[in-house]
Amino acid sequence: MATPVCRHILTFRWFFLHLCSFNFLLFAFFAPPASAHPSPLHDLHIRQLSPRGFVINNSTGIPQVFDSVTQRPIPQGPATDGGGTGFDIAGIIWLAFSFVVGLPMTIAGIRLWRMTTGVGVGLAAAVCSWAALNNTVNNNGIPDAVLTAIVLGFFVVGFVFGLFEIGRIAGISLIGITGGLAFGTRVVILRPGLLVPGVNLFFADWVVVALFGALGGAFIVSQKTQRAGILVGSASVGTFFIALGIDLILNRQSGMSRGLRFLFDRNASHALDIIGGGYTPTLRTQITIAVSLGLTPLLAFFQHCAFKQPFSRKRPESQKIQLPDFLVEDPDAQGRSSRRQTFLDNLWSGAQTIKAVATRQHSRFSL
């Protein structure tokens, strides 16, 4: 009969063999020759229709963007999308943020409990706000530092919400969904021009991303796979941000950052920059993304082996410290203090009633 150590070794070998095959297939399929790269601005068709309702006209040699209905020109602006330029303030903030979030989630997401649920809600809020702002601003846009501050503000609000008991279920669910989206996004941006290149097939790339997100969320729904969903979700989020941080150092905003903007930004005011400029990742960017994808299951397995404890770190009622009665001189003050403490305990850890405990035991999110 195999010992636990032998089982771990066999599982590790299974992960490693499948990882090598997965990385080889990814790189072989997603790295076409240079001739297959998207065309730059001067190779654009005379009239290229976008699903967002604008037309790029290059008939005069000077590319212009027109509304497909009114035929009026649409003023264009740079699509930096808050990412900054080089190592300016916005660039440094995103570089630091990538490692601050990525490192702990990569190696200890299953152990960090409230931080992990906070990151799940915070990332969902940040991504939604970032995409919404970038797709609705005009050609003047928002200064990169200001946009970065706004997006990180959404992250902080979501992170704080996820720390409390009220955000526990949302945090667990979103760490699975965002982990799946982070994995699917990297699969899509690994190839020049995205996984399914072509303006009219842009929706297919988002179908792939959505499928990975749905798969990550599906793992969270079932109690039997919920721990695996948290492990893979946190590892995926972590490796995504580590890869982004490394790529920002190596390629600044022209690598993985460009791929994210190319996937998320379809603002008509950014058409010349995004669609006209295209997306052609360097070999270094492709290797960075492929390695991060391959490391995701390995690091999830590492966390599973390193942290056997349950995801929840809530202490039982018997372990909570309470002051003896003789130390409290004023009974009224004791009552107020007790009510205040009960309110804070319920906010932080949830109601500790028999009904609540019984309900939690049968909850799908009881980790």
Tokens 């005379």 appear where?
46
Provide the token pair at 186. 């990297």
State pLDDT tens for residues 251-297.
Answer: 999 999 999 999 999 888 888 888 888 899 999 999 999 999 999 99
At residue 214, the 3 state secondary structure works out as helix
Across 66-75, 188-197, 345-354, the highest mean pLDDT is recorded for 188-197
More confidently predicted of 199 and 75 = 75
More confidently predicted of 262 and 27 = 262
More confidently predicted of 137 and 329 = 137
State pLDDT tens for residues 91-113.
Answer: 999 999 999 999 999 999 999 88
Provide the token pair at 179. 């982990």
pLDDT for the residue numbered 197? 84
Average pLDDT for 235-264: 95
Name the H helices within the chain. 4-30, 89-108, 114-134, 144-163, 168-189, 202-221, 223-251, 256-264, 271, 277, 283-306, 331-349, 354-361
> pLDDT tier at 11 (50, 70, 90 boundaries)?
very low
pLDDT for the residue numbered 13? 46
> pLDDT tier at 338 (50, 70, 90 boundaries)?
low
Percent of the chain at pLDDT exceeding 90 = 48
pTM of whole model > 0.85? no
State pLDDT tens for residues 135-180.
Answer: 999 888 899 999 999 999 999 999 999 999 888 899 999 999 999 9
Provide the token pair at 7. 């089982």
Average pLDDT for 336-365: 51
Entry field: residues in the chain: 367
Contact 176, 233 (CB under 8 A): yes
pLDDT for the residue numbered 64? 81
**Identity of the residue numbered 210:** A
| Distance from the first to the final alpha carbon of the chain | 30
pLDDT for the residue numbered 39? 45
Average pLDDT for 214-236: 92
Check pLDDT > 90 for residue 248.
Answer: yes
Residue-wise burial string across 307-323, b where 16 or more C-beta atoms lie within 10 A, e elsewhere: beeebbebeeeeeeeee
Check pLDDT > 90 for residue 341.
Answer: no
More confidently predicted of 350 and 276 = 276
**Identity of the residue numbered 306:** A
Q: Distance between CA 51 and CA 321 in Å, rounded?
A: 61
**Average pLDDT in the chain:** 79
